[in-house]
Each structure stands twice: as C-alpha cells, then as structure tokens.
Structure 1
Amino acid sequence: MIATIVILFFLLLFMGMPIAVMLLITTTATLAIHTNTSLAVIPQQLFNALDNSILLSIPFFILAGNVMTQGSMARRLIDVVNSFVGSFPGGLAIAGTLACLFFAALSGSSPATVVAIGSVMIPALIEAGYGEKFSIGLLTSAGSLGVVIPPSIPMILYCLVMNTSIAELFMAGIVPGLLIGGSFIAYTVYLARKNGWQRSRSVTWGERLRILKDGIWGVLLPVIVLGGIYAGVFTPTEAAAVSLVYSLLVEICIYREIGIRDVPEVCIQGAVLSGCLLFILASAMTLIWLLTSQRLPHQIADLITAHVSSGWVFLILVSILFLILGTVMDNVSAMLILSPLFAETLGRFGIDYIHYGIIMVLVIEFGFLTPPFGLNLFIAMGLTDKSLVEVSNSIWPFLAILLFCLLLVTFIPQISLFLPGLLLR
C-alpha cells in the first residue's frame, strides 16, 4: 500500500495535477486496489472532514485580511509604528518589520501581510535610500510572519489534523514570532549603522498622539481578537467573525476607505481562496483517514524508532524532509498530509504536539520564501516588477536568520512552550 501511495503521489505531482485532485485520486486508487471498502466512503469522508465549526474561522480570517488590505488600516498602522521608531538607525525599515508583526496579528495571512505592508513600504524604503535588494528582501521575508504570529491560518489547519488546542498553538507562536521579528530588526540596525542609512525626523509627542489617535482602531484589533481568545470571552471561530465585523465597521464607517459597493468583490476573492484551502483540507483529511485506518502511522513509527534513537535527530530529519518537499509542492499541503503520519512517532519520542506544530509553522514560513512555490516571492514580483531570480536573491540573508531561529526553537522547546505552560496548562 505504501508503495502505491508514494508512486501515485509523485507521479501525479510531477504531472502538474492540482494538489487536492491528486490527493483524491491517490486515496481512491489505493482504496480500490488494496481494500474491499466501498468507494462510497470517499464522499462521506470529504463531508466529515468539513463538518467542523472551527473551519468557519478560515474564511472569516481571510475575508478580514482582504478588507484590511484594500482599506487604509495597514497604512495607518505603518504611520503609528514609524512615529515611535522612525528616528532610530534604520528606523523606517524597523517600522516596516513591526508593521508586518502587527498586521500579521490582524489578518493571519502571510500573502495578505506582504501585499498590505510591502506595497507601501518597499517603495518608501527604496526612495529613502535603503537599497532595492534589502528593501524587497526585508518586506518579503517579514511578511511571512503572518504564519507565525497568531492568529494564523496554517496553525488552525495543523490543530485540525492533529487534534490539538488552537489557543495553545496561537500562544506558542508569540515568542518565536517576536524572536524572528527581533532578529530581522537587529540585522536592520547593523546594516543601517554600517551603511549610514538616514533616519526619519524626530516626531513630537503631540504629533505622535495625533497619529496614534488616527490609527488606534487598527492597533486595537489584535488586542480584541487575541485577548478575547485567551480570556475565554470567545472561541477562535468567534474571534475570526469578530475580526471580520470589526474590520468592516472600521473601514466602512470610520476610515471610509471601502464602500458598500466594494464588499461583493472582497467576498468573491475571499470565497475563492477559502474554497481552495478547504478543498485541499478535505482531500488531505480523507487520505489521512485511509492511512490511519490501515495503521500506517504505527508502521512508520516502528520503522523510524528502529533506526533513529533521538527525538532531536527525528525533528531535524523531519524539518529537512519538509524543506526538500517545499521545492516540489506547497508546504502547507505537505504538513496536512505528513504531520498525522508522524503523530505516533512524536508520542514515542515524547515530543510535545505544540512544540512540533511551531516547528512545522516555521518550516512553512521557509516554504513561503523559497522557489519554486514560494507564494511571497510571487507577490513581491508583482509588487516590484522584478524577476523570480532577483526577488529570490534578495531574501537569502533573511533565510539564514530564519534558519538560525528555527534551530533555536527546535533545540530549546521552552521558547514555544513557555507561554502556553504559564497561562493555559
């Protein structure tokens, strides 16, 4: 059975088959060849995979991100951050990184963060003399923090397939996200001092308060959403709905950057992306059901534990596997397919599911930044009119920083487990 799945999987993958269709064909063919089970179970499992209220949070977060991307919340957020750090060495670039951190906490989406912040900050940084290569690399890479800083759509998907707490994983992503953002800022300050990049003019406290008043509605959203989840006021699904309603009210009624006539187009864009993600999820969950019913995770665990004696070695090997798979397929899809297969192995090595989930999310962040399937690279190409090679060359220093942070999170579990252990366990 394993041979059939592997052969079909990679054959269809290299034929260019869409990932969801490829998963369904693999599941159906394997079921027909190796079992006597009726194929009527396929639509049943597709339905069961989507019969989960938590999935409602995905389209809500996607729609909220689209609203904020098309509105002015991102621009006002940049102004707020820049008013506080613009006078530091590399202040404008620091403001861009911090804006990505904040917007990631608003949208939960890496591509939305690159579009919203990068479209404003990349031209501003280049005009201020920060260098084209650095400006593109920084905003493309910092935009990937959308998958690490909660709320995060890949985190929600991981919790669904691994049956873990979304609130715990959200909280576990805060410190690693700040670690990566802080590392990008430290690198920016180093280059700013080395190259003598100009600073923004000092802003008086009166001006700062005026800018903060203008952008306070955007600053409050992550406080409301994440604070509500951790305080038990509402569930992650309800939090996603709150973020959508809040962003619509702010953009339509307060900032008035979006009109009622723009809402249908925002909904259409969100529906297309949500449909793609949910179709992939349902197909992956159906394949996972087949593999689990045939006890393949136990067989894989037996095989791994027979040849690997250390949990650390296992985590490194899995990370390398996902990085390699990221060159031939989307890492989010790889996570949905393979993570449940390693669930039994994680238990045998005593590896916390939350710790493993953060490692997977960081590897997914790599996937957004590495060709040929790095979605952030394609978005940066569209924003800057540069080739894939030019954009890819600009992000290598930041990939090195990200790799260093990945190793720290892997070998020091408390970086990700400290907050959940302190507040939720």
Structure 2
Amino acid sequence: MSGLARIALMGYRVAGICAYPLVSPYLTYRAIKGKEDRKRRLERFGFPSQPRPHGPLIWVHAASVGETNAVIPLIRELLRRQIHVLLTTGTVTSAQLVENRLGDEVIHQYVPLDLKFPIKRFIAYWHPDVAITAESEMWPTTMAELKRRNIPQIRVNGRLSDRSFERWQRNGKLAELLFGKLSLVVARSDLDAERFHDLGAWPVVVSGNLKGDTDPPPFDPALLNHYRQQIGTRKTWAAICTFDGEEAAAAFVHRALKPRNRQLTIIVPRHPERADAIEAMLTEKGLTVARRARNDAITEETDVFLGDTIGEMGLYLRLTEISFVGRSLTEQGGQNPLESAMIGCAVLSGPQVQNFRETYQHIIRKGGARMIRDTEMLAKAVHYLMTNDVARRKMIDGGQDAVQDLRGALSTTLKALEPYLNPLTVTARLRPAGTDG
C-alpha cells in the first residue's frame, strides 16, 4: 500500500510537470478576474522580486487573510530575535494585509505554485533555515523538496477540519508519507492534535488558537469619528465575512427590522471583488447602498454601508456592537469570531462553524455568542440585541472574557519552537553589523 502511495505522489509530480506549460494562461485568466497580481505574477513561478538578506531566514507561509492575521504576532517575535522573515501568501487580499500590517518588516512574496520547477527555483534562491506553515495546507511537491534539502517543516496553529481529516483517513498511507515529513506540529486543540498524530505527524503539541493572541484589527480614528458623525443616533448591526447568500439574508433582516428600528446595516463581504454584484442585488431589493471604496457618505436614506475594502475590519466592527459572522449560514466552515468579540461586539453565527468549533464553544459558554438556525431567527436575534441594552452588554462582556481566556497560544508555540529558533537567534545576534546587503 505504501508503494501505491509513493506511485500516487510520483504521479502528482509528473502531472504537475505536464501541466506546467498551461500555468501561464491560467494565471493570466486569474489576473483578469482580479485574483492574481499581474505585476508580480513571476513570483508564482518561483522567481524572486527581492534580494535574499544575509543571515538566518525563516519562511512563513499563510494561505489567506485569516492565517496571515494569526501568524503576525509570531512573526513579530521572530523579528525581535533579529531573524529575517520571508512571508508568502496566496491571495491578493492577504498581500494587501501584509503591506498594511507589516510593511517592509518582512519580505513578502506570493507563494510559488506546487510544481517542481517553481518550487526548486524558490527554495534554491531563498534557502530558508526553517519553513513554518499555518493551519492546514499540505503541498506534496513543496514538502518533498524541503525534506530533500533537510529544511525543518513546522506546522503552527495546526487544524484539520472534519472533511479534511476524513479525506486523509481514506488515503492513510499517502497521509503517512506527507504528514511524516513534518518536523513538528503545534496544534490549536486536543482534537486537532489527535488527528495530526493519527495521520502520521510526530511530535505534536497543543498550543491553543494563535488568533486569540492577535491584536484587535487597527483602524483610523479620524475615519471612525467621520462615520460615527454620519451615522448619528441610528442603531447599527454588521454582517461580516459574508459569502454568497448571506448578503441576501442581511437584506432580509434589514427590511424586516427597518420599520421598527430605522437601523443601518453594515455588510462586509469576505471577498470584496463581489461588491458590484452585492450592490446590484441590494439595489434590486429597493435598498440604498453607500460603498466605502467609493467614499460614499452615509445619509439618513442609506440602508446598507457596504464595506468593500481590505484591511478595515477594525473600522467596520467599531461602528456597531452586534456582529453576525458569515460563512456559517449559507456556506460551511465558519469564520473567526474572535475579532468581533475582542473589539466589543455581541456575536451571532449560523450553525456551520466546523473550522472554529472549539472557539465558538468557548465563547458560547461565556455567553458571548449565540447560534441562529436561519434568516428569520437572525432577524429576531438582531432586533432583540438592538432593543435590549442589558442583554447586549452581557454578551459583549462574555465575549471579551472568552478572548482573555483564549490567550497564551503564542507563548506555548514559541516554547515548542525553541530548539529551532535558539540557534538562529544566536547566529543572527553574532552577525556583524552592515551585513544585510
């Protein structure tokens, strides 16, 4: 069976080599759709756009916005130790987040495609001392090349969804070949740790969720004051990180509650490139929309403030005290509720939160979140929280207590990483000044 697994991996690599000539047209198509950075497309082929600095360098990969936010505190600790950080991400939105939050403190590149030539080119140039990946991605070609060069591969904030675990279980020998290449897994829950171990990873330690140690998302105080003045005394609620269908649910809630509450609804889609389609849908339902990307003013007639920008979640959440967190009603998996809770929002969510099960369970136990079954129940919950200050305040306090309880994952993660970080820290601090050419 292990022989079949090795044949499957070889077939994957061969298929990648055969598909290589088709990659460029595919990336061009994605660039047209706004899903790739046309100017930096060569980075996806492993070609560097910046020089490699002298001295120790750790490659940190975070696939998208959520993973990037989670590893920022860890990255800051690596930088404090004078270790260079190469941070790769896979989306345009996450690249913008890196620019906003870290600037030139790190070297940012788009992650190369998991194909033989891009990966060999990328690793040969950057030659990282350690490779750290966040959460759940497994890329066979990348892992094989790192293993061939004896570069430690570490998974932090590791998680495996129900669906992913079941899929890997059905391919047990293949999982053993891949998960066995990991030098260390720092899992975010006991359940995730058990799953990684069952699939062949060792050693595995539990840290808790790194997202509990993140800072609240930043905001522009002048801009916040600007919008608060425009909103005035109107009640507000927000539907954030929404996926297709959840904006329509928010529109239903708004129309149902408007005669009684005259509220402003804030919608922040998970993918801002959908904003035109969302605005068209809302307008068709007779709602007046102000878009942040257009700097539209919020007036008495505005029904929906559409948050179609990157990196301003801190602004949107501070305009309300009620937050419905999406990808949970019409989509599955859920999104991170901790940002809403730490800023001071009562959290509402649909039932499909498998990717954040433990986090929601803890916040619910503290009274900071409530699950809703459907759109009608969401409307009732929003109305109740808008009109009941005591209940809303109790949920906000419960959520913030839960956030405090969930802190500590960063220190546990750093302790687990010490055998890999300490030699690099010593080397970095012994490096003569002026050698970072």
**TM-score, structure 1 as length reference:** 0.26
Bigger RCO (CA 8 Å, 6+ sep): 1
